[in-house]
Amino acid sequence: MIILSLFDGVSCGRIAAERAGLTVTKYYASEVDKYAIKVSQANWPDIIHLGDVTKWREWDIDWSSIDLLIGGSPCQGFSFAGKQLAFDDPRSKLFFVYVDILNHIRSVNTDVKFMLENVKMKKEHLAVISEQLGVEPVFINSALVSAQNRQRYYWANWEIKQPENKAIALADVIGVDARFFAVYQKDKPSKPRPSNNKSSCLTGAANAAGNHSQMDVIVMNGAHIPLTSTGRIDIHSNPMVRRYSVAECEMLQTVPVGYTKSVSNSQAYKMLINGWTVDVIAHIFRSMK
Q: What is the pLDDT of residue 99?
A: 93
pLDDT tens for the chain, 289 residues long, are 999 999 999 999 999 999 999 999 999 999 999 999 999 999 999 999 999 999 999 999 999 999 999 999 875 555 444 455 455 555 567 888 999 999 999 999 999 999 999 988 888 888 889 999 999 999 999 999 999 999 999 999 999 999 999 999 888 998 776 665 655 555 555 566 666 788 888 876 433 333 444 555 666 655 566 667 776 666 566 666 677 889 999 999 999 999 999 999 989 999 999 999 999 999 999 998 7
Q: What is the pLDDT of residue 222?
A: 54
What are residue 182's phi and psi, to 5 degrees?
-145, 155
Q: What is the pLDDT of residue 168?
A: 95
Q: What is the pLDDT of residue 209?
A: 37
b/e string for 130-167 if b means 16 or more Cβ within 10 A? eebbebebbebbbbbbbbbbbebbbbbbeebeebeeee
pTM of the model: 0.87
Q: What is the pLDDT of residue 205?
A: 45
